[in-house]
Amino acid sequence: MLSYTEENYLKALLMLSFQNEERPEAGTNEMAAYLGVKPATATDMLKKLKEKELVTYQKYGKILLTELGREKATAILRKHRLWETFLYEKLDFSWDEVHEVAEQLEHIQSEKLVNKLEEFLDFPEFDPHGDPIPKANGDIPAIDKVLLSEVTAGEVCKVVAVKDTSAVFLQYLEKLNITIGTKFKVLEVIDFDGSLSIQIEKEEPRSVSMKFAESLFVKR
């Protein structure tokens, strides 16, 4: 049985491993920063996780989830995303409100609850932010996506996920009438600052920043 805190460390490591699929190892400071604790605290916890064979690492080395650790972490992520979907779909929470509550709900221990919840939601594949929801067996649905910043002028694409899930960004998207599924055409890419001009069907063209384009995943 894992403690609430141990679960958070595992999930953090899994999330960090997604940030750079080719280099899935994390550093102590990186992990501490992600969780909002001091590096010393992270080191202590690392020893414990290593003891339980949930991570592999040696002093001053990189941290990697073991197969077991990855399984546990994936199960937590599954719960997190299912709860987010529940809050969004059934309880009318908005895009930017679901995360905080799901952070708590993800720690509820009940196999049955998760699976019943998934069934109740009709086996969703993606959460409200477009992120894939791991299946009960640990499989993670694949999705064909690229950052908007990689799209070239003239292409038409559809929003499939957000990279940045901060409230400010999500609220900005809402204001722009952009949500998962929105289609638009990239009219122009400005080399100078990386900004681009996009046109949502039947709307006026609109200019968005490079930062914006690096926060949104689309399907070409």
Instruction: Give the one residue of 24, 39, 138, 194 binding DNA; rule: CB under 7 A.
Output: 39
Which of the listed partners (a copy of itself, DNA, none) does 122 bind, with a CB threshold of 5 to 8 Å by partner kind? none
Our CB check for DNA shows the closer of 28 and 182 to be 28
Both tokens assigned to 36 = 């909002």
Calculate the CA 54 to chain-centre distance. 21
Q: Measure the CA–CA gap between 103 and 78, rounded to whole angstroms.
A: 12
Q: Which residue has the tokens 């109740």?
A: 120
Does 108 help bind a copy of itself (rule: CB under 8 A)?
Answer: yes
Rg (CA), the chain: 19
Instruction: Give the one residue of 16, 46, 55, 82 binding DNA; rule: CB under 7 A.
Output: 46
Q: Measure the CA–CA gap between 121 and 127, rounded to whole angstroms.
A: 11
Contact criterion met (CB below 8 Å) for 81 and 133: yes
Instruction: Give the one residue of 15, 24, 48, 214 binding DNA; rule: CB under 7 A.
Output: 48
Residues 6+ apart with CB under 8 A from 18: none
Task: List binders of a copy of itself among 118-157 (CB under 8 A).
Answer: 120
Our CB check for DNA shows the closer of 107 and 206 to be 107
Does 219 help bind DNA (rule: CB under 7 A)?
Answer: no
Q: Kindly write out the interface string for residues 8-27 of this chain, putting x where it contacts DNA by CB under 7 A and - elsewhere.
A: -------------------x
Instruction: Give the one residue of 10, 13, 42, 173 binding DNA; rule: CB under 7 A.
Output: 42
Q: Measure the CA–CA gap between 187 and 198, rounded to whole angstroms.
A: 5
Does 96 help bind DNA (rule: CB under 7 A)?
Answer: no
Count Cα atoms within 13 angstroms, Cβ side, for 212: 18
Can you name the residues that pair with 218 across neighbouring β-strands? 146, 159
Query: Residue count at the site for DNA (CB under 7 A)?
Result: 26
Q: Residues interacting with DNA, by CB under 7 A? A: 3-6, 27-30, 36-48, 57, 59-62
Q: Residues interacting with a copy of itself, by CB under 8 A? A: 87, 90-93, 97, 100-101, 104-105, 108-110, 112-113, 116-117, 120
